[in-house]
């Protein structure tokens, strides 16, 4: 199983890592994991924190950084990489907040052709 885990440096992104670590056995020992950050100038810092959080998980993974609109780039990366699952944190915005502020998670769900697991 190919899994794409997105991190954005927020507490919600770290919850997605924690969820993955707790459920790694259910995903299978042979899962192929990629940790993705859509660069907003903080990629090195965010990926260093992700690496620290992944310690002890005993899961090999690749890191990737892309630039652009987060929702579009995540969906595009998932499609091109032929991932089986996208795992990402969600801020839990209400419908009104999503309309006013937009939501990366909503955009990924709308554009992505593979299952998306949102973690709160």
* pTM of the predicted protein model: 0.88
Position 42 scores a pLDDT of 83
Nearest residue to 87 via CA among 34, 29, 42 = 34
Question: What pLDDT is recorded for position 101?
Answer: 43
Given a cut of 50, whether residue 88 has pLDDT beyond it is: yes
pLDDT in tens, 27-66: 877 889 999 999 868 899 999 999 999 887 788 999 999 9
65/56 Cα distance (integer angstroms) = 23
Q: Average the pLDDT over 57-86 and give the result.
A: 94
Q: How much is the mean pLDDT over the chain?
A: 87
Domains of the chain: 2-119 (3.40.50.620)
The Cα–Cα gap between 10 and 83 comes to 23
Angstrom distance (rounded) from CA 93 to CA 90: 8
């Amino acid at each position: 199983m190919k899994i794409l885990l997105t991190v954005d440096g927020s507490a919600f992104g770290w919850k997605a890592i924690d969820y993955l670590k707790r459920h790694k056995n259910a995903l299978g020992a042979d899962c192929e994991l990629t940790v993705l950050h859509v660069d907003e100038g903080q990629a090195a810092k965010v990926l260093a924190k992700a690496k620290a959080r992944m310690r002890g998980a005993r899961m090999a993974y690749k890191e990737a950084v892309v630039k652009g609109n987060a929702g579009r780039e995540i969906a595009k990366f998932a499609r091109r990489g032929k991932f089986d699952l996208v795992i990402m944190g969600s801020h839990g915005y209400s419908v009104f907040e999503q309309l006013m502020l937009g939501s990366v998670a909503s955009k990924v769900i709308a554009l992505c052709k593979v299952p998306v697991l949102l973690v709160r």
